[in-house]
Amino acid sequence: MSAVPGSVADETMLETGSTTDIVGYRLRRAQLSVFQRFLSAFEALDLRPAEYSALALIGDNPGRKQTEIAEILGIKRANFVALINGLEARGLTERRAAHGDRRANALYLTEEGAGFVEKARAVQDDFEADCIARLGGTDARDTLLDLLGRLC
Amino acid sequence: MSAVPGSVADETMLETGSTTDIVGYRLRRAQLSVFQRFLSAFEALDLRPAEYSALALIGDNPGRKQTEIAEILGIKRANFVALINGLEARGLTERRAAHGDRRANALYLTEEGAGFVEKARAVQDDFEADCIARLGGTDARDTLLDLLGRLC
DNA sequence: TATTGTTATACTCTATAACTATA
DNA sequence: TATAGTTATAGAGTATAACAATA
């Protein structure tokens, strides 16, 4: 990424430091890189990041309303409809009547969805292990999550 | 973000840890949060992140080809056309004939563009200072940039 | 043949307004 | 009145294919 001290000057080298050595830029590049690898890792399962998050969250919190799940994930409820429609069409989730509120849908994993999430979690565990290895260990990962949390 | 040990249990609290305590998710949230603040900070200048990066990069590397600038920023040359058209329409940049290659456009800041970039850099410096303050100092910022670099 | 800039196009993600049925 | 889910729609950002001019 940056010039190596002592290396032969490349005549096509651009001066990039003042543009790229800033938090926002590096954050964007790192996020795009990680999401790219996530897509590759989950290609066999045909699952995008937001879909994985929704399935995992529903699995840990069965019976919650659509709007609750969507809000936690930072997805507008209007945009969450198509996402959950896709998961439902694949037989992974289902909408059931919510207790005491006939407007709301309670979300659950189907039996097939529960099995699918198990496989997805295994893929995610491998993916996270790869991230940790790149970072240099679990301490480095914890440091990163802490620093990222301070930016929110 | 996470449950506080000893706090009274919230009946609406969702179990989110296994979904959100992962590098990719936190990276996405932090990037969205930082970009949101960037847009606010640059609202008065009507400048988006990619536009700021392009202006700063052209300012540091006058005369480079469109494709060079676009590639460094990770923008497809096809999509860079509209971006540079916008900056040119505002009188901030200009395309000139490139030396020895009549296919290429060499990019430069206009005089007005140079003055604009000075103001933009000042805003960016303030913005970066805010990021550093949130992170806890320049050491924390350097640690973050190092860790982010390992994920690319 | 390959590359530069460009246009057209499509797909994803995101944001808002408005509707319905309930509350 | 307000809320949950939905639909429609519009705006960004991003990806590929194809073209004209030039290398």
Return averaged pLDDT per consecutive 10 residues of chain A, 152 residues in all: 37 86 96 96 97 98 98 98 98 97 98 98 97 98 97 95
- Please give the nucleotide, over all strands, whose C1' is closest to the CA of residue A78: D6
pLDDT in tens, B51-93: 999 999 999 999 999 999 999 999 999 999 999 999 999 999 9
pLDDT score, position A74: 97
Domain ranges of chain B: 47-150
Looking at residue B12, its pLDDT comes to 74
C-alpha span between A36 and A49 (Å, rounded)? 10
Residue B114, SS3? helix
Is the CB of A71 within 7 Å of strand D?
no
Q: What is d(CA A90, CA A108) in angstroms, rounded to the nearest whole number?
A: 13
Taking the stretch 43-62 of protein chain B, residues with Cβ within 7 Å of any atom in nucleic acid chain D are 48-50
Any idea what the Cα angle at residue A50 is, between residues B14 and A109, rounded to 5°?
55
**Cβ of A18 and B56 within 8 Å?**
yes
**Look-up: residue for tokens 């190092």?**
B146
CB–CB of B61/B108 below 8 Å?
no
Q: Which residue in B71, B115, B151 sits closest to A35, CA to CA?
A: B151
Tell me the CATH number for domain B47-150: 1.10.10.10
> What class has domain A48-150?
mainly alpha
Burial class (CB within 10 angstroms; exposed 0-12, middle 13-18, buried 19+) of A10: exposed
What is the average per-residue pLDDT within B31-58?
97
Place of tokens 């998961």: A87
Q: Which amino acid is at B27?
A: L
Q: How far is CA A41 from the centre of its chain?
A: 12
B33: closest CA among B1, B56, B10, B2?
Answer: B1
Please state, in angstroms and rounded to a whole number, the distance separating the CA atoms of residues A92 and B70: 41
Cα torsion for A122, A128, A131, A135, to the nearest 10°? -140
A93 pairs with which residues across the strands? Answer: A109
CA angle A29, A10, B65 (to 5 degrees): 65
- B 86-105: CB within 7 Å of strand D: 100-103
